[in-house]
Structure 1
Amino acid sequence: MMLRGLALAGLLFGAEIGAAQAGGWHAVAFMYHRFGEDDYPSTSISLDTFEAHLDHLEEEYTIWPMERIVEHLENGEPVPDRTVAITIDDAYRSVYENAFPILKERDLPYTVFVATEPVDDGLSGYMTWDQMREMEEHGATFANHSTTHDYLVRQGEEESDEAYAERIRDDISNAQDRIEEELGEHNDIPMLFAYPYGEYNQTVADVAEDLGYIGIGQHSGAIGPYSHPMALPRFPMADSFSDLDDFKQKAGAKSLPVESIDPWDPVAAEDNNPPRMEVTLADSDARLNQLACFVGGQGSVEVEWTDRDARIFEVEAPETLNRGRTRYNCTAPSEEQGRFYWFSQQWIILPD
């Protein structure tokens, strides 16, 4: 479904699918990077914690490959409640050495997003294509994470719009070509693109969409029929934020049914910092009188209802956002005890 005009103008998206689902379904994707690498606490998870996560998921949830959830989203088909996906970014060597034996023993499906240049260059911290082929035989799917793993949202000062878009197109397409060459002989490579660093802007999303991809981010939240296909959320996991109780709460998250958001482009303009976000919600059993929003590094922020009957609210951080990535996170309790609706909008403040 090509939704560029809807997305980037801040108009309705997912409404047709959402209405058909009468309240919608909910799925959660978790994102991991490294396993058992203590020197990287912000991106690595201990093996004991990873096993605890998997124990909980196997006991309480249905585990699908990410591409299966996406297929249902694209086709307007419901996903069973309490469905989750396991995803891994960057193809680090510890995925093969530490995570793969665990996932293989449990016979679980999972998706690895590969940045191909470090693999082709034979960097010691990354898997090899032979290792990935072995993993393919035991439940792994591999998908696109760009060629260079560059900050694609950064356009060069002397770079024209056309040249910028072409550079992004090449970075994505060349990676897909390499993955298909190395891993596509016996398996279809899904048209999923995980943005490097989870960062995207209008141009990056446009290019990826024009090439036929679904866009995968790193902003928190659940996936549902109203989720935008160029900005699907995932919950990042690492030792710094891997508490089991928090993990259980996130696994049970529901997707706040966002019909529209304005602005959609996460890169905040200089004259819109802090960005003011307007959100329109579809009907659901979310207790909107308890809707709470938070700004990364600034804490809770006032929710301003501009039209409560139409479920339209606005949020703005009280202070200017720092350079880099920040999120507005909004949650509301569900009528189902212990479960929360969740929506996250990423903001990117580029360096001067």
Structure 2
Amino acid sequence: MRFLFLWLVVWCVQSVADAHLFVYHRFGDDRHPSTNIPTEKLREQFTYFKERGYKVVPLEDVVQRIHAKEAIPDTWVVLTIDDNYKSFYDNGLALFKEFGYPFTLFVYTGATQRGYGDYATWEQLHEIGKYGELAFHSHEHPNMTQLDDDALKKDFETGMALFEKHLGKKARYFSYPYGEYDERVKAIASSYDFEAIINQNMGAVSHQSDLLNLDRSALGENSNLGTLLSYRHLNAKWLAPKTYPKDSKLNTVEVEIQEKTKQAGLYITGLGWQEIPVEEGIIRYTVDQTLTHDRTRLILSVGKKISTHILIKDH
């Protein structure tokens, strides 16, 4: 009986366990404060993980757990870098090596191919690849929702061919430029057989997460790690709206969740937070408001569990 009780406790803890994916961009480059992390702040964050028992693991470990539908330890953290800025090679890589932290760096191939001075060269990417995973982040770094299907496919095929030619392997993972996507972009990206696709929606991942839409929080100088690490994955199916409304008028939000709750919180960019009713796991909430931002996030929360849906205006 005592064994059964202990097993149930362990099972309950594991069943709600979530990992956290984070993204950095620039390192020690104060010309761009909105996307930069000073190296002294990076050390503070790495020390935070170490002293509080968090384990920084390769993205591959989380992907394998989700694929197998196995519980993910609550102490797992995944670190990623977007855009292959040279500042990572110059200022960030040494700290990752010092702490022994694995990482995944998403490569903007066009910048490296053209020799843009702010970006790592192919030779530097080879060196970076000795210590972490290299993945794909597009060729032209476009707003993908603004491209037609042919242009979108051309970007994938051009960039992935360069990636394979210069780095000697196929990219296993992909992250959206600017974190922007819609159902059409996601479908085309998914057709290239990536093992996982990463967004930039604040939250967490669990064994129930969609491998082709993994949530990832941005880290910067003023990020509150304690708050970000407290978030849990909310298993939600966003039913409506699927895309940015044509007239910018958001009429109704419909979501299906598995939580046993009668209330949830809903955040809409430009409109703020509001409490909304939940009936037997279904949310049908009338908004009737005009959206004022071309990039609008809808965040649904039940306690510390959150799910994010992004709407991008089609220009």
Please report the TM-score for the alignment, with normalisation by the length of structure 2.
0.87
Select which of 283, 292, 299 maps to 2:265: 292
| CA-to-aligned-CA distance 1:181-225 (integer Å, 9 cap, x gap) | 2223xxx54421101111112221111111112321111111123
Amino acid at match of 2:211: P
- Equivalent residues of 2:269, 2:293 under 8 A apart: no
Determine the structure 1 residue equivalent to 2:301.
331
Select which of 171, 177, 192 maps to 1:211: 192
- Equivalent residues of 1:298, 1:317 under 8 A apart: no
| CA-to-aligned-CA distance 1:69-106 (integer Å, 9 cap, x gap) | 12221232322222110011001111111110110111
Displacement of 1:252 = 3.1
Answering whether residue 275 of structure 2 is matched by residue 302 of structure 1, we say: yes
- Equivalent residues of 1:29, 1:222 under 8 A apart: yes
Distance across 2 between alignment mates of 1:143 and 1:313:
37
Answering whether residue 180 of structure 2 is matched by residue 199 of structure 1, we say: yes
Listed as ranges, the matches of 1:171-186 within 5 Å are: 171-184=155-168
- Unaligned stretches of 5+ residues in structure 2: 1-12
Fraction of identical pairs, as percent = 27
Select which of 203, 207, 210 maps to 1:228: 210
| CA-to-aligned-CA distance 1:154-188 (integer Å, 9 cap, x gap) | 14xxxxxxxx323212211322222222223xxx5
Select which of 83, 88, 92 maps to 2:85: 92
**Residues 82, 33 of structure 1: alpha-carbon distance in 2 compared, 3 angstrom cutoff:** same
Amino acid at match of 1:346: I
- Equivalent residues of 2:83, 2:107 under 8 A apart: yes
Distance across 1 between alignment mates of 2:101 and 2:163:
22
Distance across 2 between alignment mates of 1:315 and 1:33:
36
**Residues 269, 295 of structure 1: alpha-carbon distance in 2 compared, 3 angstrom cutoff:** closer
Distance across 1 between alignment mates of 2:218 and 2:14:
29
Displacement of 1:289 = 5.2
Distance across 2 between alignment mates of 1:52 and 1:235:
17
Amino acid at match of 1:48: E
Determine the structure 1 residue equivalent to 2:233.
255
- Equivalent residues of 1:198, 1:217 under 8 A apart: yes
Please report the TM-score for the alignment, with normalisation by the length of structure 1.
0.79
Select which of 21, 30, 38 maps to 1:46: 38
- Unaligned stretches of 5+ residues in structure 1: 1-20, 156-163, 334-339
